[in-house]
């Protein structure tokens, strides 16, 4: 067993290949590690690579030095100090309050609200940009009629098509005039609406008065 | 610290709760402003492809005699072309246009101004929902947006921008269901005055006829040959005439419908031989629907589909 071990260990110390299993056993077995150290030493002696003085306890000494070294810890110092100082001030309370769950939910609410505001403002702006929609898909009534009809300047004036077009145009113009008149009639109706309503009320009040005396008699 | 936070929390909660009520309060404030303030205002009216400018003066005069009589005076002067000069002294409205005799009517407000600013709030609350919006800057003033959203889909909505300081209306947009602006009324110059504007002093003393125009006897009996079979939601019949005439064309029958704020007119005329047509003048739809040997014309602030349905219901 031991000779087998020594064989692969010796081979490994001469830069031969080593299997994963063998490496595992080397890492776990202190005896093997001692053996490995000795093989390395022997190799160094054979290759004349040894220094004048060999410190066999180098690893131990180094471990000792490491242990003696001051421990440096990564401390969140500035934050801790600020918190300690400001705990007495008002803002400190606010800051510490900011870490409390209720404050967190409130802040989350505030952020959500501001997002909502941005959304609303955005929507409004996009709606306002629709202002040019003042031009509607429906044809617009010419409430201020343009004088005269445009007559085609061409020799083919007497053609059936253009005559029909002129006729159509005149009909349209007539229609516009008729609508103008109706718009004016409507305006008059609206102006007199309140008065009409009052008069109707009066009539309704008067009618029973007129009718009642005969009944009384 | 806790107390302050609790106060802030209460403030946030109470603000959101008051928001719904706040809209109508703002609206009330703007309605009061146009009735109570002394002012000299210029506004423009944008309708489809035309723009008109008016100067609008208003004041309340308090008599110094033994009787504390208040006189409300108002004047509307067209600025860009010679139109009808309109003025009001209390409940008498006078229309004066060149070439025509003075028309005297009984009215609590000038009908050419946006009706939404003058009609009773109770009536408007039946038709609209008030939702306050964000505040913006208009004509160098802070303006608060107030949306009056129609409860019924067939009605157009109003977006009002009210002066943050005084509540005075700075802009009124009439928008359709897709929030497209159909008509805009906008104040471009505003001067609030501590006393009655001097221009109105003449109107205060002017000798004006108090007797309104005599109305023709209105036939309320449905003896007409034509009948209206359907009314849009919220509208009532206000006026019915069997046969009148415009200067050049006969009118066989006409109806005026109102919801307290808007008016829809329906006219029946002999056929002109044209196909069905729809026009738009700002927020006003004009629809001509030929039926056998008559043309039905519907004019009013309503959707084309509704106008068509109304015209179709004439029998």
Q: Cα–Cα distance between A35 and A25 in angstroms, integer?
A: 12
Answer whether residue B219 is part of any domain.
no
Say whether both B192 and B275 belong to one domain: no
Answer whether residue B231 is part of any domain.
no
Q: How confident is the model over A156-176, as a mean pLDDT? A: 72
State whether B263 and A190 contact (CB < 8 Å).
yes
Name the B residues in 5-44 with CB < 8 Å from any A CB: none
Among A92, A136, A204, most B C-beta atoms within 10 A, so best to mutate, is A136
Say whether both B64 and B115 belong to one domain: yes
Say whether both B154 and B90 belong to one domain: yes
Q: How far is A158 from chain B (nearest CA, A)?
A: 23
Nearest to B272 among A175, A181, A198 (CB): A175
For position A128, what pLDDT does the model report? Answer: 44
Say whether both B189 and B240 belong to one domain: no
> Nearest chain B Cα to A131, which residue?
B181
For position A63, what pLDDT does the model report? Answer: 87
Centre a 10 Å sphere on the Cβ of residue B270 and count the other Cβ atoms it contains.
12
Say whether both B36 and B144 belong to one domain: yes
Each residue of A46-61: pLDDT tens digit?
888 777 676 677 788 8
Say whether both B241 and B201 belong to one domain: no
* CATH code for the domain of B102: 2.50.20.10
Residue A148 has pLDDT above 60, yes or no: no
For position B215, what pLDDT does the model report? Answer: 67
pLDDT band at residue A133 using 50, 70 and 90 as cut-offs? very low
Domain end point (choices B162, B188, B205)? B205
Say whether both B171 and B30 belong to one domain: yes
Answer whether residue B13 is part of any domain.
no
Answer whether residue B221 is part of any domain.
no
Say whether both B53 and B197 belong to one domain: yes
Pairing between β-strand B181-193 and β-strand B128-138 as defined by DSSP bridges: unpaired
Q: How far is B66 from chain A (nearest CA, A)?
A: 31
Name the B residues in 258-277 with CB < 8 Å from any A CB: 258, 263, 265, 267, 269, 272-274, 277
- Which residues of chain B have a CB within 8 Å of the CB of A175? 272, 274, 277, 288
State whether B279 and A139 contact (CB < 8 Å).
yes
Q: How confident is the model over A128-157, as a mean pLDDT? A: 48
> Nearest chain A Cα to B134, which residue?
A121
For position B142, what pLDDT does the model report? Answer: 92
Say whether both B175 and B299 belong to one domain: no
pTM: 0.64
For position A194, what pLDDT does the model report? Answer: 84
For position A172, what pLDDT does the model report? Answer: 82
Counted domains in chain B: 2
* CATH code for the domain of B280: 3.30.200.100
Q: How far is B294 from chain A (nearest CA, A)?
A: 14
State whether A185 and B50 contact (CB < 8 Å).
no
Answer whether residue B126 is part of any domain.
yes
Q: Can you state the percent helix, strand and coil of chain A, rounding each to 5?
A: 75, 0, 25
Say whether both B252 and B180 belong to one domain: no
State whether A186 and B299 contact (CB < 8 Å).
yes
For position A54, what pLDDT does the model report? Answer: 67
Each residue of A63-118: pLDDT tens digit?
888 888 877 766 555 444 444 444 444 554 555 555 666 766 777 777 777 776 66
Q: Which long-range contacts (CB under 8 A, 24 or more apart) does A176-179 make?
A: A176/A141, A176/A142, A176/A145, A177/A145, A177/B248, A178/B246, A178/B248, A178/B249, A178/B269, A178/B272, A179/A141, A179/B279, A179/B286, A179/B288, A179/B297, A179/B299
Phi, psi (rounded to 5 degrees) for A12: -65, -40
B179 close contact with A: CB closer than 8 A: yes
Say whether both B251 and B162 belong to one domain: no
Q: Is the ipTM of this complex over 0.90?
A: no
Q: How far is A171 from chain B (nearest CA, A)?
A: 8
For position A142, what pLDDT does the model report? Answer: 56
Order of strands across the sheet that contains B141-150: B103-106, B92-96, B85-89, B70-78, B50-62, B38-47, B181-193, B169-175, B157-163, B141-150, B128-138
For position B59, what pLDDT does the model report? Answer: 93
Nearest to A134 among B181, B212, B279 (CB): B181
Domain end point (choices B186, B205, B224)? B205
Give the structural domain span for B280.
236-312
**Low-confidence stretches of chain B (pLDDT beneath 70):** 1-20, 215-224
What end-to-end distance do the CA atoms of chain A give, in Å?
147
Answer whether residue B5 is part of any domain.
no
Widest distance between CA atoms in chain A: 155
Answer whether residue B217 is part of any domain.
no
Residue A215 has pLDDT above 60, yes or no: no
Residue A146 has pLDDT above 50, yes or no: no
Say whether both B254 and B162 belong to one domain: no
Q: How confident is the model over A24-28, as a mean pLDDT? A: 84
Domain end point (choices B148, B182, B205)? B205
Answer whether residue B213 is part of any domain.
no
């Amino acid at each position: 067993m031991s000779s087998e071990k020594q064989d692969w260990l010796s081979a490994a110390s001469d830069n031969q290949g080593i299997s994963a299993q063998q490496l595992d056993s080397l890492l776990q077995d202190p005896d093997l590690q001692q053996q490995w150290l000795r093989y390395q030493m022997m190799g160094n002696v054979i290759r004349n690579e040894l220094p004048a003085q060999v410190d066999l306890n180098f690893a131990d000494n180094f471990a000792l030095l490491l242990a003696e070294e001051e421990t440096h810890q990564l401390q969140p110092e500035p934050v801790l100090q600020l918190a300690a100082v400001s705990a007495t001030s008002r803002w400190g309370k606010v800051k510490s309050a900011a870490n409390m769950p209720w404050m967190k939910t409130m802040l989350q609410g505030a952020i959500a609200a501001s997002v909502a505001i941005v959304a609303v403002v955005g929507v409004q702006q996009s709606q306002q940009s629709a202002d040019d929609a003042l031009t509607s898909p429906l044809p617009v009534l010419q409430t201020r009629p343009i004088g005269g009809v445009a007559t085609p300047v061409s020799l083919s004036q007497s053609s059936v098509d253009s005559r029909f077009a002129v006729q159509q145009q005149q009909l349209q113009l007539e229609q516009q005039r008729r609508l103008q008149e109706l718009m004016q009639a409507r305006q008059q109706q609206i102006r007199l609406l309140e008065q009409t309503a009052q008069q109707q009320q009066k009539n309704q009040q008067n009618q029973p008065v007129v009718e009642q005396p005969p009944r009384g008699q | 610290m806790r107390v302050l936070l609790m106060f802030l929390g209460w403030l946030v909660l109470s603000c959101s709760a008051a928001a719904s009520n706040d809209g109508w309060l703002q609206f009330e404030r703007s309605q009061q402003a146009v009735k109570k303030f002394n002012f000299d205002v210029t506004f423009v009216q944008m309708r489809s492809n035309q723009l008109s400018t008016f100067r609008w003066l208003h004041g309340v005069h308090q008599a110094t005699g033994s009787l504390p009589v208040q006189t409300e005076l108002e004047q509307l002067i067209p600025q860009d072309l010679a139109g009808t000069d309109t003025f009001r002294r209390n409940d008498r409205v006078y229309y004066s246009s060149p070439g025509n005799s003075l028309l005297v009517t009984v009215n609590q407000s000038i009908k050419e101004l946006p009706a939404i600013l003058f009609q009773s709030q109770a009536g408007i609350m039946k038709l609209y929902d008030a939702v306050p919006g964000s505040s913006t800057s208009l004509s160098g003033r802070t303006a608060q947006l107030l949306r009056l959203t129609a409860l019924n889909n067939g009605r157009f909505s109003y977006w009002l921008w009210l002066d943050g300081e005084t509540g005075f209306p700075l802009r009124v947009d009439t928008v359709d269901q897709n929030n497209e602006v159909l008509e805009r009324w906008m104040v471009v110059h505003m001067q609030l005055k501590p006393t009655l504007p001097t221009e109105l002093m003449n109107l205060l003393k002017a000798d004006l006829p108090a007797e309104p125009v005599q109305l023709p006897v209105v036939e309320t009996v449905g003896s007409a040959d034509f009948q209206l079979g359907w009314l849009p939601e919220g509208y009532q019949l206000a006026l019915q005439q069997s046969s009148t005439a415009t200067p050049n064309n006969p009118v066989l029958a006409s109806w005026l419908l109102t919801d307290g704020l808007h008016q829809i007119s329906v006219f029946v005329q002999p056929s002109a031989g044209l196909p069905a047509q729809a026009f738009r003048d700002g927020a006003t739809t004009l629809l001509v629907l030929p039926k056998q040997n008559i043309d039905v014309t519907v004019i009013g602030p309503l959707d084309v589909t509704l106008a068509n349905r109304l015209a179709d219901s004439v029998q």
